[in-house]
Chains A and B, each alone.
Chain A
Amino acid sequence: MANHKKSDENLKGTLYATFGLGIFIIIVWALCFNLFIDRF
C-alpha cells in the first residue's frame, strides 16, 4: 500500500496543461489591458 505508485502515475501533462491554462488567461488579460490603456 505504501508503495502504490505505479510507473504510469505520471502527471506531467496535467501540470503543463494547467500552467498553459494560466498563461492563456494572463495573455488574454494583458491584451485587453493594453487596449484599455490605449483608450482610457
Chain B
Amino acid sequence: MTAVITKDKKVTHNNKGNSKVISSTKVDRKDAKLALAHIMVAFIALFVGGLCGLLQVLVRSGQFKLPFGIGYYQVLTVHGVLLGLILTTYFILGFQTAAVSRTAGALSNKQRKTGWVGFWIMTIGMLAAATMVLLNEASVLYTFYAPLQAHWIYYLGLTLVVVGSWIVGLAQSLRYIQWRKENKGQTSPLLSFMVVVNNLMWFVATLGVAAEVLFQLLPWSLGFIERIDVLLTRTLFWYFGHALVYFWLLPAYMVWYAIVPKIVGGKIFSDALARLSFMLFLLFSIPVGVHHQLTEPGIDGFWKFVQVVLTFFVVIPSLLTAFSMFATFELRGRELGAKGVFGWFKNLPWNDVRFLLPFIGMVAFIPGGAGGLVNASYQMNQLIHNTIWVTGHFHLTVATTVVLTFFGTAYWLIPHLTGRKLTKKMNNLGIVSGILWSVGMVIMSGAMHIAGLFGAPRRSEYSTYGGSEQATEWISYQVAQAVGGTILFIAILFIIGIVVNLLWFAPKGEEEFPIAEVAEGAEKTPALLENFKVWGVILVALILIAYTIPLIDIVQNSPLGSKGYKFW
C-alpha cells in the first residue's frame, strides 16, 4: 500500500507549469471529473433507454398499449438513440479519457479544456435531438433513413454529437502524441495506443455520416433541396454504421486485453498480438458497410461480394483475441496449480464482479459472432434480413458483450474516479445484476433469434397481420421476449442502484485502476505496429477499392430522388 502511495506522488513540473504525473497508478483528479461527466450521462441514458425497451417488449406481446398517444416509433427512436448512440459513445469517451490519463499521464490543461468543449458540444446536440424526438418531430429511428424526414434540428443535434466526439477524441489523441514525443523510440502504453486506434477509426468512419447529413439530409429537411438520392444516403450511412459497431466493441476489447489479465492475476499474453489485432480491426471495420445493404438494388453484385469477403477477414483478429484471452486464463490457472486440459477454468476469480461481467460478455460474443457471420453471408442474408433475428443478434453483441464489459468496468472505474471503494456488498449486487442480465438476455435474444427464423419482422409493434397464420406462430415468442425484457429491466434497476452508490454513497477509499503487464516470455513489440502512416495508407487504399466504383455507379445512375415523408 505505501509503495503505491509514494508512486502516486512522483510529480514533476514542466516549464509550462502543468503538473505531469509520471508512472502514475491513478487517473489525475481533474481528468477524473471529465471522465465522470461522460459516464453519468451514459447511465442516465441507460435508465431512460431501458424503460423504453421495457415498453417495447410489453407492446409487442400484445398485452399492453402505450398511453397518452405516444407512438411506438417514438419510443423505439428514443431506445435506439439513447442506448445505441448515447450510452455507448459517452461511456466510451469517459473510459478512454480515464485510460489515457492513467497510462500516458494527466492531460495538459489545454487538452482537458478541449475535452470539456467536446463534452458540451455533444451534450447540447443530444438535448436538441432529444427535444425533437419528444415533440414527435423525429420518429425516424436511430438510423434516420430517408425518405423518412425528421425536423432539421434532429439531424443537426446528432451532427453536434459526432463533432463533439471528435473533439473529445482529439484531446485524448493529443496526449498520446505528446507521450510519443517525450518518449522517442519506446513502445507506447498499450491502452493509450488502443484509444488512438479507436478514435482514428471513428473519425474516418463518421466522415461518411457527416457527408450524408451535411450535404443531403440537412438541406433537404430545411427545404433547400426537394429530393434526395435514397441509395446514396443509405450507402453513406452504412459506411459509418458498421464501423460504429466496432467503435462500441474495441473499448470492450481494451478491457479484455489490458485490464482483465490483471484482475485475474495474470499477464497480457502478447502486447504485439494485441496491437496487431487492433490494427486489423481498424482496416476491416470500414470498407465493409455494404454488407448491411445486401438486399438493396442499385449496388452491383460484384461489389457486394468484395465487401463480404473483406467482412470475413474480421474473423482473424476476432480469433486472435479469443486465443489470447484463453491463453491468459490458462497460464494463470496453471500458475495456481490447475491440472488437466481445462482444469484452469476453475481457478478464475468467479466471485469478482470486475472479472465476471466482462467474462459473460466474452461468452455472449461466441453466439453473437457466429450469428454475425450468418448475417454477412451474402445469399444467406435473405434468411434473416429485417427480421427480429437481427435485433436478437445485436442485443448479444452490443447489448450484452459490450455493455456488460462496460458495467463490469464502471463498477471499479467510478469509485476510482470518485475516491471511493467498491464494497463486498456492491460487488455481490453487481454479480446479481450480471446474472439477471444473462438470464433475461438468453430468453429475450433467444426468442428473437427463433422468431426471426420464422420470418417475424423487426421494427414492428404488435400486429396479427390481418389474422395471418404465420403471424400467430410469432406471438408466443413475443411473450417470451416480454418476460426476458422485464428481467433485463430489473437488472438495469440494480445497475443504476450500484452506480448511484459508487458515485455518492460508497465509503471513501482507494479503488485500483488495474493495468496488466506483459508476460515475461513475450516478444518485443515491433515498431511497425505503431506506425500509423503505414496502416493509414492501407486503410485508405482498402476504402477506395471497396467504395469508389460503387459510389460512382450510384451517382451516375441516380434516379429522380425522393421527397420527404412523415408517416407518424
Contact = CB atoms under 8 A, between A and B. Distances in A.
B380 interface: yes
B319 A39 contact: no
Contacts of B331: 8-9, 11
B371 A28 contact: yes
Contact of A40 (B322, B330, B344, B382): B382
Contacts of B345: 13
Contact of A9 (B334, B341, B366, B382): B334
Given A32-B383, A35-B453, A39-B383, A16 B341 contact: yes
Contact of B374 (A10, A24, A29, A40): A29
Given A16-B341, A28-B371, A35-B453, A21 B383 contact: no
Contacts of B317: none
A36 B331 CA distance: 41
B223 interface: no
Contacts of A29: 370, 373-374, 377
A21 B521 CA distance: 26
Interface string A1-40: 0001100111111101110011011001100110110011
Interface in B339-388: 341-345, 366-367, 369-371, 373-374, 377, 379-380, 382-383
Interface in B300-342: 319, 322-323, 326-327, 330-331, 334-335, 341-342
Contacts of A10: 330, 334
A18 B334 contact: no
B521 to A, nearest CB: 5
A32 B47 CA distance: 35
A28 B396 CA distance: 15
B319 A14 contact: no
Give the bracket for the number of chain B residues in contact with chain A. 20 to 34
Nearest to B335: A8
A24 B380 contact: no
B473 to A, nearest CB: 15
A18 B323 contact: yes
Contacts of A40: 379, 382-383
A32 B330 contact: no
Contacts of A24: 366, 370
Contact of A18 (B319, B342, B379, B380): B319
Nearest to A26: B370
A31 B181 CA distance: 53
Nearest to A7: B334
A37 B370 CA distance: 19
A13 B342 contact: yes
A4 to B, nearest CB: 5
B182 interface: no
A40 B373 CA distance: 19
A18 B383 contact: no
A11 B341 CA distance: 8
Given A4-B520, A28-B367, A17 B326 contact: yes
25 contacts: A4-B521, A8-B335, A9-B331, A9-B334, A9-B521, A10-B330, A10-B334, A11-B330, A11-B331, A13-B326, A13-B341, A13-B345, A14-B326, A16-B342, A17-B322, A21-B322, A22-B319, A28-B367, A28-B373, A28-B374, A29-B373, A29-B374, A29-B377, A35-B453, A40-B382
Given A16-B341, A18-B322, 13 more contacts: A9-B331, A10-B330, A13-B344, A14-B323, A14-B326, A25-B369, A28-B371, A29-B370, A29-B373, A32-B374, A32-B377, A33-B380, A36-B379
Interface of A: 4-5, 8-14, 16-18, 21-22, 24-25, 28-29, 32-33, 35-36, 39-40
| Complex A-B, nearest 8 residue pairs according to Cβ-Cβ distance, in ascending order | A14-B326, A28-B370, A8-B334, A25-B370, A14-B327, A32-B374, A17-B326, A13-B330
